[in-house]
Amino acid sequence: MSLPLALDVTDRLVVLVGGGPVAARRLRSFVEEGARARVVAPWVCEEVADLLVAHPGRVQWLDRDYAGPGDLDGAWLVHTAVGEVSVDRRVAADADAAHLWCIDATSSRTTAAAVPARTSVSTADGTVTITAHSGGDPVLASSVRDAVAAGLTSGLIPLQRNRAREGSGWVALVGGGPGIDGLLTARGHELLAAADVVVVDRLAPRAVVERLPQSVRVIDVGKTPGHHPVPQSRINDLLVEEAQRGLGVVRLKGGDPYVLGRGGEERAACEEHGIRVEVVPGVTSAVAVPAAAGIPVTHRGVARGFTVLTGHEDIPHVPAAGNHTLVLLMGVSHLGRTAQLLIEHGHAPDCPVAIVERGFHPTQRTTVGTLATIGPVAEAAGVESPAVVVVGDVVRLSPHWA
């Protein structure tokens, strides 16, 4: 039976007998953890030589064969990987006599200590180290380690803290994409798994929120067209207040925080109060939702650029040509007026238009027309938000146009 332990080797001496590739891997790990190291070997491989050059004050090389217990003086931990059974067993025996733990890398069956398969995952609150020990089967241990790491980075394993943070917490502005779990990034899942509070928008992926532990507090600040029950200023204050209580806060939005999502304002509000902020880009609906309807916003020979707007105020500044795609977010309520303005500012009345409702959801629907007809067509179809409007020749590439 083995007892897993985590050892702090900072500024403690580790003696490594042998200078080959196995010793090199361990030496790198020990040095990265802050240990001092003594290598005893008549030769060293290239990686060990590089570490000697890179850490002259922390790594010492005794250029000779192992001479006995005196080589272990001052050590807290011993590692042997000579490859000659008699020498490795002698090192292990000398360490045992000195009451030192010895890792015999040549024998998983008889070694008194072992280094498990290990990796580290960066989380919102620091680093989580994952180790797996399988009693002499390093391949199995590595497989288990990697599976656990994948669970952490995908958000399948909760990372909420059980001890209070010192000082302020953190805020993450996470883009949720068009509103389905599959288009939320891995980093977004990971931060949600670590959050104490989630401040969520109406168009954010709700299914992933519903699966959060009951200990996570969810604050709904969803807006509908013309109805903003929680003003942006109050949302900014909420993020600051919750983080100042030492909590980890995810601001979960639809689309991308920095694409017409007011994420810049929220970040500025937090940073004014000294709160750490991370921005996680999302799959922006301006590009993804048209793609769901088979419409590329750019296409060789059809459109070389695109503009994203939220309404009709900037219509006069949009290139008046079908080969420049216009994407309108939150543009359904004034669609008729927007179409009229586009025509007045140079767009052809027969320029194609597509309205994609509820992109990527089971009830997704695409309605097509031209600038001259889209107003009454949309009204007759009962088009509603959330929807993305695409104007330009690329609409003809969609199967819905036919």
**Contact criterion met (CB below 8 Å) for 323 and 348:** no
Q: Which of 354, 344, 301, 291 is nearest to 323 (CA)?
A: 301
Q: Extract the tokens encoding 146.
A: 């990697």
Give the C-alpha separation, 384 to 190, whole Å.
33
- Report the SS3 class of residue 217: strand
**Contact criterion met (CB below 8 Å) for 342 and 371:** yes
Measure the N-to-C terminal CA separation of the chain; round to a whole number of Å: 70
133-155 per-position pLDDT tens digit: 776 677 787 888 888 777 777 66
Q: Extract the tokens encoding 141.
A: 């241990």
Q: Which of 241, 334, 331 is nearest to 286 (CA)?
A: 331
Report the pLDDT value the prediction gives residue 165, as an integer from 0 to 100: 66
**Contact criterion met (CB below 8 Å) for 336 and 343:** no
Report the pLDDT value the prediction gives residue 118, as an integer from 0 to 100: 74
Residue with tokens 């799959």: 283
Report the pLDDT value the prediction gives residue 14, as an integer from 0 to 100: 96
Q: What percent of the chain has pLDDT over 90?
A: 63
- Topology of domain 287-397, per CATH? 3.30.950
Beta strands 13-17 and 117-123, pairing class: unpaired
Beta strands 305-309 and 276-280, pairing class: unpaired
Give the C-alpha separation, 81 to 117, whole Å.
17
- Beta-bridged to residue 387, according to DSSP, are 357
**Contact criterion met (CB below 8 Å) for 18 and 81:** yes
pTM of the model: 0.68
- Amino acid at position 293, single letter: A
Ordered by start, the domain boundaries in the chain are 13-115, 118-153, 170-283, 287-397
Between 107 and 275, name the one with better pLDDT.
275
Residue 34 has pLDDT above 80, yes or no: yes
> Residues 348, 352, 358, 360: is their CA dihedral positive or negative?
negative
Residues in the chain, overall count:
402
Report the pLDDT value the prediction gives residue 144, as an integer from 0 to 100: 82
Average pLDDT, the chain: 89
Give the C-alpha separation, 197 to 373, whole Å.
46
185-204 per-position pLDDT tens digit: 989 998 998 999 999 998 89
Mean pLDDT of 263-285: 95
339-385 per-position pLDDT tens digit: 999 999 999 999 999 999 999 999 999 999 999 999 999 999 999 98
Mean pLDDT of 71-76: 96
219-254 per-position pLDDT tens digit: 999 766 655 678 999 999 999 999 999 999 999 999
**214 pLDDT band (50/70/90 cuts)?**
confident
Report the pLDDT value the prediction gives residue 314, as an integer from 0 to 100: 79
DSSP one-letter string for 269-314 = HHHHTT-EEEEE----HHHHHHHHTT--S-BTTTBSEEEEESSSTT
Q: Which residues of 157-182 are buried (b: 16+ CB within 10 A; e: fewer)?
A: eebebeeeeeebbbbbbbbbbbbbbe
Q: Which residues contact 351 (CB under 8 A, 6 or more apart)?
A: 322, 342, 370, 371, 391, 392, 393
- CATH superfamily placement of domain 13-115: NAD(P)-binding Rossmann-like Domain (3.40.50.720)
**294 pLDDT band (50/70/90 cuts)?**
very high
Report the pLDDT value the prediction gives residue 375, as an integer from 0 to 100: 93
Same fold, 13-115 and 287-397: no
Report the pLDDT value the prediction gives residue 121, as an integer from 0 to 100: 76
CATH class of 170-283: alpha beta
Residue 120 has pLDDT above 80, yes or no: no
